[in-house]
């Protein structure tokens, strides 16, 4: 006879889970008790806030392909963790959030910290469930695992009533891993799709999703190069295709380069593999007509719920990305110039002008491209600063990007910690804005406690840059709520046991970065970046002037009317 916490933890270990992230709570004491005996096999990573824990679990799922596991307590704990669930859903990555719940005898009375998690998470998670009977624990955990991994991967929320977890049963735990098969493409549909591509004049491959294997990525690259077709990555999935390939033509995301938008709009046939057609990838659904695109669309996705959700494809293939890539046969046509021009336009985008202020992020990013290893992991949260790791980086076949499609601030540091825990041997660099960093800077303590040593680069310009840019564009000169008074970030890093340093000028950065990479404790570099350098090619003053000009023109038009 074992309590439910032990059955749960032993089941997770048998499934292959190695780590879980969380903040302890009295509502799941039995699970914490069970983890006392699984140290080294299934470890609890003690976080400082449930939001940070949720981000770590989401990042783990994105990086490893295995569900990121998170444990939080009821009520406030679950509410804090919701940001991680939302991020995992928008990123299409596997995650399971276990939430302690009030006892079954107290439910429905608005007991202390009671929440109906099926209602609260029903529109955010892929599935939300509550386990009321201990003998059903293994069954529902197995279903949660397969649901998180199957079709379009995503987060599952499992509520655990306290009395269920602490009760005892002879129900056996799960005995081993569960394999979730990837659906293969229908041969006839695939043949028709390849014939369509072969008859096109301006074909394009659009890829997305995080559930690619190394073999799947290699197979897709082989197909693209042998067919000489340009490839565009969906928002923040550019690490899923080797950027050094002559076929890679850029990322369709926030701040989409005009050349990428023109490529998508101008294609006459699009092979979309594993793409869910989000707002950012489609420039607010304007690059393809809704519901029938001008482009002849072939949509391949492992979830039938994604096919036809927004765009009705000419050919629909319900299949996984890796199985599809393995089955693709090269096609040929007269589009060599189309592919070449797409590649040249992407390469030309790296020529950023010198940035105003103390530290030039264009020069910093160029230096990092030269020195970081091929398998480096880059992470970021949200803000204008993300243009540097997102638009000015070339991701090779082994490099990874952990960045939230949800646009959640505060993701970058927890993601870097999760990456360093998953792969302690790899270099992990987090790009963070000063506002972004302060969302979860307390997780430096988590990193120190668990031996995770990322390098954090704080793009410190003293403003909430994205909002300031919109503010100056729409209400020029009327600054409100976007200027920050920041702490001494280097001192804060040292207080957490990290190497911390302030970098005032661009020429200081190479030596500072070398010391950061050599530090056995991890490092935080506080970069003195001007608020004028809000975008690579337009200063804050220029944004304000453009806003003033637009307002003046509108006022003049109104006066004449």
pLDDT at 107: 86
What stretches of 52-148 adopt beta strand conformation (E)? Answer: 68-72, 95-101, 127-130
Domains identified in the chain and CATH numbers: 2-169 (3.40.50.970), 187-348 (3.40.50.1220), 361-547 (3.40.50.970)
DSSP string, 153-216: --EEEEEEEHHHHHSEE-PPPP-S----PPPPPPHHHHHHHHHHHHH-SSEEEEE--S---HHH
Burial (CB count within 10 angstroms: exposed 0-12, middle 13-18, buried 19+), residue 439? buried
The pTM score is 0.96
Pairwise CA distance, residues 166 & 22, whole Å? 19
pLDDT at 105: 86
Other CB atoms within 10 A of residue 78 CB: 27
Pairwise CA distance, residues 159 & 78, whole Å? 10
CA 69 to the chain's CA centroid: 16
The sheet with strand 400-402 has its strands ordered as 400-402, 377-380, 428-433, 455-460, 523-528, 499-503
pLDDT at 328: 98
Q: Average pLDDT by consecutive 10-residue portion of the chain (561 residues)? A: 97 98 97 97 98 98 98 97 98 98 88 91 96 97 98 98 96 95 97 98 97 97 98 97 98 94 98 96 97 98 97 98 98 96 96 94 97 98 96 96 96 98 98 98 98 98 94 93 96 98 98 98 97 93 93 86 80
Burial (CB count within 10 angstroms: exposed 0-12, middle 13-18, buried 19+), residue 551? middle
Q: Who contacts 561 (Cβ-Cβ below 8 Å, separation ≥6)?
A: none
Q: Give, for 231, the enclosing helix (H) or strand (E).
A: strand 231-234
- Smallest CA-to-CA distance from 269 within 186, 193, 187 is with 193
Burial letters for 284-314: b for 16+ Cβ neighbours within 10 Å, e otherwise? eeebbeeeebebbbbbbbbbeebbeebbebb
- Smallest CA-to-CA distance from 473 within 532, 530, 557, 545 is with 545
Residue 526 and residue 512 in contact, taking contact as beta carbons nearer than 8 Å: no
């Amino acid at each position: 006879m074992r309590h439910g916490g032990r059955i749960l933890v032993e089941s997770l270990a048998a499934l292959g889970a190695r780590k879980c992230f969380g903040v302890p709570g009295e509502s799941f004491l039995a699970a914490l008790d069970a983890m006392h005996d699984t140290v080294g096999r299934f470890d609890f990573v003690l976080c400082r806030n449930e939001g940070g824990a949720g981000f770590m679990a989401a990042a783990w799922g994105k990086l490893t392909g295995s569900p990121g596991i998170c444990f939080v307590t009821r009520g406030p704990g679950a509410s804090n963790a919701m940001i991680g669930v939302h991020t995992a859903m928008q990123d299409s990555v596997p995650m399971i959030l276990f939430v302690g719940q009030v006892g079954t005898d107290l439910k429905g009375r608005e007991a202390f910290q009671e929440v109906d998690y099926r209602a609260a998470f029903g529109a955010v998670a892929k599935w939300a469930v509550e386990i009321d009977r201990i003998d059903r624990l293994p069954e529902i955990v197995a279903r949660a695992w397969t649901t998180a991994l199957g079709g379009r991967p995503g987060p599952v929320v499992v509520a655990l009533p306290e009395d269920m977890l602490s009760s005892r049963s002879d129900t056996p735990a799960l005995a081993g891993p569960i394999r979730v098969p990837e659906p293969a493409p229908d041969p006839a549909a695939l043949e028709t799709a390849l014939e369509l591509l072969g008859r096109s004049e301006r074909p394009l491959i659009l890829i997305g999703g995080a559930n690619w294997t190394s073999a799947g990525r290699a197979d897709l690259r082989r197909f693209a190069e042998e067919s000489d077709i340009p490839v565009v990555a969906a928002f923040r999935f550019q690490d899923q295709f080797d950027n050094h390939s002559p076929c890679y033509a850029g990322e369709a995301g926030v701040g989409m380069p005009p050349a990428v938008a023109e490529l998508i709009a101008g294609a006459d046939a699009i092979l979309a593999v594993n793409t869910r057609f989000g707002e950012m990838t489609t420039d607010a659904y304007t690059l393809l007509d809704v519901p029938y695109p001008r482009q002849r669309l072939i949509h391949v996705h492992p979830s039938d719920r994604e096919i036809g959700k927004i765009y009705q494809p000419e050919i629909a293939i319900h299949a996984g990305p890796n199985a599809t890539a393995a089955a693709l046969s090269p096609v040929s046509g007269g589009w060599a110039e189309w592919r070449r021009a797409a590649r040249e336009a992407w390469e030309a985008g790296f020529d950023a002008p010198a940035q105003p202020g103390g530290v030039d992020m264009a020069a910093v990013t160029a230096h990092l491209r030269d020195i970081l290893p091929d398998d480096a992991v880059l992470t970021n949260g949200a803000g204008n600063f993300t243009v540097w790791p997102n638009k000015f980086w070339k991701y090779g076949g082994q490099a990874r990007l952990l960045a939230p499609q949800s646009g959640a601030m505060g993701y970058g540091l927890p993601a870097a910690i999760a990456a360093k825990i998953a792969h302690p041997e790899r270099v992990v660099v987090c790009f963070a804005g000063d506002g972004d960093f302060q969302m979860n800077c307390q997780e430096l303590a988590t990193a120190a406690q668990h031996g995770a040593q990322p390098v954090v680069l704080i793009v410190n310009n003293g403003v909430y840059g994205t909002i300031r840019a919109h503010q100056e564009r729409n209400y020029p000169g009327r600054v409100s709520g976007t200027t920050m008074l920041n702490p001494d970030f280097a001192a804060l890093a040292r207080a957490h046991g990290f190497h911390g340093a302030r970098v005032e000028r661009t020429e200081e950065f190479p030596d500072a970065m070398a010391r950061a990479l050599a530090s056995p404790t991890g490092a935080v570099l506080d970069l003195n970046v001007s608020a004028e350098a809000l975008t690579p090619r337009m200063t804050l003053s220029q944004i304000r002037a453009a806003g003033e000009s637009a307002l003046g023109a509108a006022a003049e038009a109104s006066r004449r009317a």
